[in-house]
Amino acid sequence: MIFLTGGARSGKSALASRIVADSRNARLIVTSRADDEEMRARIRRHQEDRPLSWVTIEEPIDVIEAVRSGSPDEAVILDCVTIWVSNLMVEHDDDHILEMVRTVASELTLRSARSVVVSNEVGSGVVPMNEVGRRFRDLHGFANQEFSTRAESAYLVVAGRPIVLGDIADVR
């Protein structure tokens, strides 16, 4: 599993697509909802940028089942954890959300094909002014840590360029 994080519009999704571009079988799990025209247009642009042979699963909540339902030799892109965590916050408590994150991270590491997880980095800004904002920032930060520590490699994507995030063993 490869973990990609970075700011909005930093090139994470495009990089994820390039990483699995050579895969004959690929599945893209998208967590966003097409609730308005701007989001529908954004989704259409993303669809036009990927191969027609890829299977796209639009799943805003049950990402566990979306990961499990495919073949283990099929490359997977999960795009994106940020929206998924936000979607889950409406109906689930923090402990349940983190358990779901751990389950997805574990499932992705067990696959024989490459998995790429895309997530925004939201912890570098100011402390949110309200409880919901702080809850989201904290949950999302824990989710990113879970995926990052389980990943074979992790990158911070800035202006379309990946920066390697080192392993804790490299810190002395």
What residues are annotated to the active site? 46
For the chain, the straight-line distance linking the first and the last C-alpha, in angstroms and rounded, comes to: 25
Instruction: Give the strand pairing for 161-165 and 153-158.
Output: antiparallel
Q: What is the distance between the alpha carbons of residues 140 and 168, in angstroms, rounded to a whole number?
A: 20
Counting beta carbons within 10 angstroms of the beta carbon of residue 170, is it exposed (0 to 12), middle (13 to 18) or buried (19 or more)? Answer: exposed
